Every structure is written in structure tokens, then in C-alpha cells.
Amino acid sequence: MSFVEPAVTAEIPLLKIENLKKTFSIPTSLFRRPLTLTALEDINFTVQKGETLGIVGESGCGKSTLGRCILQLIAPDEGKVLWLGQDLTELRSEEMRRKRQDLQIIFQDPLASLNPRMTVGEIIADPLKTLRPDVSRTERRARVIRMMEAVGLLPEMINRYPHEFSGGQAQRIGIARALITEPKLIVCDEPVSALDVSIQAQILNLLSELKDEFGLTLVFISHDLSVVRHVSDRILVLYLGRIAELATGEQLYTDPKHPYTQALLTAVPIPDPKKARERNIVALMGEIPSPINPPSGCRFRTRCRYAITKCAEVIPPLEEISTGRLVACHRWKEID
């Protein structure tokens, strides 16, 4: 049965995630049952065409797993990944392969993500060769050169190998590879965290320019709230596999409601020393608990200075506290 893609409307967003859950089975010993790691639970959000949704949280919070579930690189246990209203989790592999040209990814470690035995031209052309075999060799080469120029690489570099490039240049190759199929959405999974700070800004600016030029929608994953804020329209804060808060970048930065968001913000540098001194520091206590055995009730409670008895007993629902703004905390009204 063929599926005719509907136009994007307010009712049908480009991407809608419904009740997503993902667990992993962790083997222990031969005679014991495997452990279950719940990486994601009760995940619901939408992404509108043309927006950048940032996903932020500490290492191990499930953000990369979420990116891979969106792209169907790993299958969720439960829930829906609705792309223009069509549930990608129900597609057969051939149907999903055709969708892949619309949904691409940029990886964290640019050099590690490039095949060292392939030239830059071959690397960038690879998704096009796989997903669009109808495109001729001449046209493919022309598109590779166009993409190299778009990301700031010289066309004469086309026959070089990845080891001849710096980290920043390698990430430009990764971006060109993601763009070559003319995708509608790109998941950027920690795209600058392996780069020097000076290069990070160049790559972030490049992504913003390309987003406008190619009409892209981005899901931008990072552990660094200052990086996410730089590029995102809205930001989703994940903690141990659950959504803690979802708000616009401005709301989150000026008026964070969830204690975890507040703590993450204290790690964001403020250039003005006076404002930095006035900031109400809410340091994060302790380490993130194991997702194999997460705390009962609110998963953040073991590190939250506002925790009360109810927090250990009842999972806080994700409440809409104003239009489109979501918070999962029993005490958000009392916390300032």
C-alpha cells in the first residue's frame, strides 16, 4: 500500500513522538536473568517544519538513543514515531529505506564516522548511491561538488582521504554527506563536542546557514546547554530517560522551572561577571543514578534539594503550564 505524504499543518507536524519507550537487555552471568535498562520512557513531543529542537541532558540520559529511535536506527519497544502522520515503526525495511533520504544524521566524532579507505568524494556520495540509485554518476559527482562548496570545502579536495583533514573539516564532510540526499530533517548527535571551542562556533554557524539555505529541520542533541541554546528554537531537557522540561530557548534560559534545568544552567558561563555573581547557584548533587535501577517516583529526587516524600512515591506528570511549555515536577509552582 503506498502512502501519499500529506502537507505539514499545525495538526500534522513534521515529526511527532508518542509514548515512546526503549529498554535494553543487559546480560549478567550464565545463570542469572539479564537486567533491564530503561533508556527512554513516556516520551512525547512534536517537531515543526523548519524549527530546531534541542535535546539536552547529561551523558546516559537517553538523548542519543532518542535520536536513533527517531531515525529507526534502533527500534523502540513501544510508542510511535510519526513522520508527517505516518508511523515509521510500522514500515517494512524497504519502505523505511526510501524514507531515509528525508531523515539523516550527523555524528559526534567526525573522523571516526568517516571510512578511512574512501575518498571524500566517495564518502559524501555514498548515501546518494545507496538511496538514489537512479541518479547518474555525472549528476552524483556534480552534487558532491555542490555540497562540498556549501559546507566550505574546496572541490579539489574530492580525492583526498579523511586522515588528511582536521576535526572541523571532517565534520564538514559529515555534514555534506548528510545533506547530499536533500533531507527534510537531520539529527545532529553532539556534532561539535569532539571539536575545539574555536571550531565549534564555526560549525554551529555553518549549520544555521545551511538550515536556512536548504529549509532543514534539525534535532540537535548535546550535553552542553550553552551549545544547544545557541542553535535551538525550543529545548527538551531529558533526565534518566524522561522529559523534565520542554520550553523555548528564551523561557528555559531566563525562567527555568525544573530544578534539573536550573542546575544545568548554572554550568553555562555568563560573560558578564556582575550577572554571574548575582546568579543563584543550584549545583547538581552527586552522580546520575543507574538507569538499570532508577529512583522511584521522580527520577531526579536523589539529586534534588526540593524533594519531598511525594517525590519518592509519585512520578510527576508532564504538565503543560503555558502554551507548549511542559514541566514534570510536583513543586514547580513553589520553586523560583
Interface residue list for ligand SF4 (CB under 6 A): 259, 298, 300-301, 304, 306-307, 311, 316, 329-331
To ligand SF4, the closest distance from the beta carbon of 329 in angstroms equals 3
What minimum distance in Å lies between the beta carbon of 233 and ligand SF4?
Answer: 25
| Calpha distance 264→56 (Å, rounded) | 9
- Least distance from ligand SF4 to the Cβ atom of residue 307, Å: 4
Compute φ and ψ for 187, nearest 5 degrees: -90, 115
For residue 261, the minimal CB distance to ligand SF4 (Å) is 10
Q: Which CB atom, from 28 or from 280, has the smaller least distance to ligand SF4?
A: 280
Min CB(321)–ligand SF4 separation in Å: 13
**325 vs 331, beta carbon nearer ligand SF4:** 331
Spatial contact of 113 and 127, defined as CB atoms under 8 Å apart:
no
Min. distance of Cβ 257 from ligand SF4 in angstroms? 9
How far apart CA 116 and CA 54 sit, in angstroms, is 30
Query: What is the closest distance, in whole angstroms, from the C-beta atom of residue 310 to ligand SF4 in the complex?
Result: 7
Which secondary-structure segment (H or E) carries 178?
helix 167-179
Q: Provide the minimum distance between the beta carbon of 102 and ligand SF4 in the complex, in angstroms, as a whole number.
A: 37
Nearer of residues 24 and 306 to ligand SF4, judged by Cβ: 306
Total residues belonging to the chain: 336
Identify whether the C-beta of residue 221 lies closer than 8 Å to the C-beta of residue 189: yes
> With b meaning 16 or more CB within 10 Å and e meaning fewer, what string describes 217-254?
bbbbbbbbbebbbbbbbbbbbbbbbbbbbbbebebbbe
Q: Which is nearer to ligand SF4, 246 or 298 (CB)?
A: 298
Q: Which residues contact 167 (CB under 8 A, 6 or more apart)?
A: 110, 111, 194, 195, 196, 199
Min dist. Cβ of residue 116 to ligand SF4 (A): 45
Are the CB atoms for 173 and 106 separated by under 8 Å? no
Nearer to ligand SF4 (CB atom), residue 50 or residue 297:
297
Q: Which cell numbers hold the place of 186?
A: 537531520
Of 97 and 333, CB closest to ligand SF4: 333
Q: Is 12 exposed, middle or buried (0-12, 13-18, 19+ CB in 10 A)?
A: middle
3-state SS assignment for residue 38? strand
Please identify, using beta-carbon distances, which residue of 118 and 335 lies nearer to ligand SF4: 335
Mutual angle of helices 167-179 and 120-131, in 10-degree steps: 20
- Nearest CB to ligand SF4, comparing residues 164 and 313: 313
Q: Which is nearer to ligand SF4, 19 or 296 (CB)?
A: 296
Dihedral sign for Cα 108, 222, 285, 238, please: negative
DSSP for 48-75 reads -TT-EEEEE--TTSSHHHHHHHHTTSS-
